[in-house]
Chains A and B, each alone.
Chain A
Amino acid sequence: MRSGQRITDELAGYITRVEELAYELRISEVMTRDVKTVTPDMQMVQVLELFRKARISGAPVVVEGRLVGIISIEDLIRCLRGGDVAAPASDYMSTQVITVKAFHPVVEALKLFAQTRVGRLPVVDESGALVGIITKGDITRGLLRALQSDYQEEEVRRYRASHLFEDIVSDRTSLILRYTIKPRDFAHGGAASSHIKRALLRLGANPQIARRCGIAAYEAEMNLIIHTTNGGVIQVEIEPHLITMRAVDDGPGIEDIELAMRPGYSTAPEEIRELGFGAGMGLTNIQRCVDQMVLESTPGKGTRLEMKIFLQHEEALKDCHYNQEKKT
């Protein structure tokens, strides 16, 4: 950043993001993988030809996958000046090669570029084998690509109906989504919970909240598909500070709720278990994901499951503030 240039808030935000990305992005994500290499015995005239054809200005010198030097356009000029194009690359290459590790953040390469004034850095893996090459151009392209995907996320975020709760004035606003779940409809299993998760993201819920709701809704949905006589209904009520999900059916009901809540307990028939359902983890998973869970059931009448997720102030849907899920 040149001094004297006025920095707007927008610009400042952008700079910070680029700096952040330089730490987030790994060298392996931006480097060029298809490395053009030369061997020490290659004639300089061949090196010239390679540079011209591949439109590159430098290449690592490699013997059986091991990096032994690096040769650049400057070395080539030195050679041409002496009219020594038949000489082997080993006569002109520099053997003091500075490398970077593929798994290091891009900022490490940026530091080296600033310190050493080299134009390219060979990238090696943990064992020291050459896996790529990185130039400032690769970094710029990588950062731009990352910013571009940021920008797309930004657009999605704008599209989100996150202002909904702000725009509508009432004493208490809520949005209700309803899904009808058919019994044994494995082909559509998970459809309702996917829709619920997507709706929450569009409404500005943070990814962690949306994921928790998605998991809980999925288990409730699969329970309706696996266990009910006539299917059931999932109703999601979304309020700025509270998400309430209800799964209701009309039978057959649960004989022993305490037993049903026990991890690993399942009444699913064998053919359903073969599909990977009926592990007896559904209710346990729900309990893990929601803040409050109430399960009521009457054998022969039906079951009603209510799940609540309370949104903390910074997660509240009224607040457009976008919380990015922490990377684990």
Chain B
Amino acid sequence: MTLQEIVDQLNLRPLTARHDFDQVTPSSGYASDLLSCVMAGARRGGLWVTLQAHANIVAVAALLDLSAVIITEGAMPDPETIAKANEEGVILLSTDKSTFHIVGRLWELGLKDH
């Protein structure tokens, strides 16, 4: 499943400049707001769901080569964070829905933790 399909199905708002979503195929998913847990648990190429919106999520996503970050509950990163994400090639997506809801939908769509 491509990121484009996920963005369409979950009605996610892209916050960053990269839009080649049909070229990105998330391989797994991870949900946590504790950055060290993400560091320990998220896999390369995975999708990360969090309500954290500060600049460090970009560093974490870049270090782990994550396919995209879904920021939940309408949390909005500041412009510097978005600029940093663009610089690092990190895809940030936003939704008003909760992490629980998003993870549930992703699982339904077939993105499992494998």
Contacts and interface: CB of A to CB of B under 8 A. Distances in A.
Q: Tell me, yes or no, whether A binds B.
A: yes
Contacts of A29: 2, 23, 25
B58 interface: yes
A276 B35 contact: yes
A144 B62 CA distance: 27
A211 B64 contact: yes
A35 to B, nearest CB: 15
Contacts, number: 89
Interface string B74-105: 00000010000000100000000000000000
Interface string A1-31: 0000000000000000000000000101100
Nearest to A281: B36
A158 interface: no
Contacts of A194: 59, 62-63, 88
B63 A215 contact: yes
A169 interface: no
A235 interface: no
Main secondary structure of the interface of A (DSSP, over half): helix
Interface residues of B, number: 31
A276 B80 contact: no
Contacts of B36: 219, 222, 277, 279-282, 284-285
A153 to B, nearest CB: 13
Interface stretch (A53-61, A183-191, A304-312): A183-191
Interface residues of A, number: 34
B58 A190 contact: yes
Interface of A: 26, 28-29, 33, 126, 186-191, 193-194, 197, 207, 211, 214-215, 218-219, 222, 275-277, 279-282, 284-285, 288, 325, 327-328
27 contacts: A26-B25, A28-B2, A29-B25, A186-B54, A190-B56, A190-B63, A194-B59, A194-B62, A207-B65, A211-B44, A211-B65, A214-B63, A214-B64, A218-B39, A218-B59, A218-B63, A275-B56, A279-B35, A279-B36, A279-B37, A280-B36, A281-B36, A281-B37, A281-B39, A285-B36, A285-B39, A327-B27
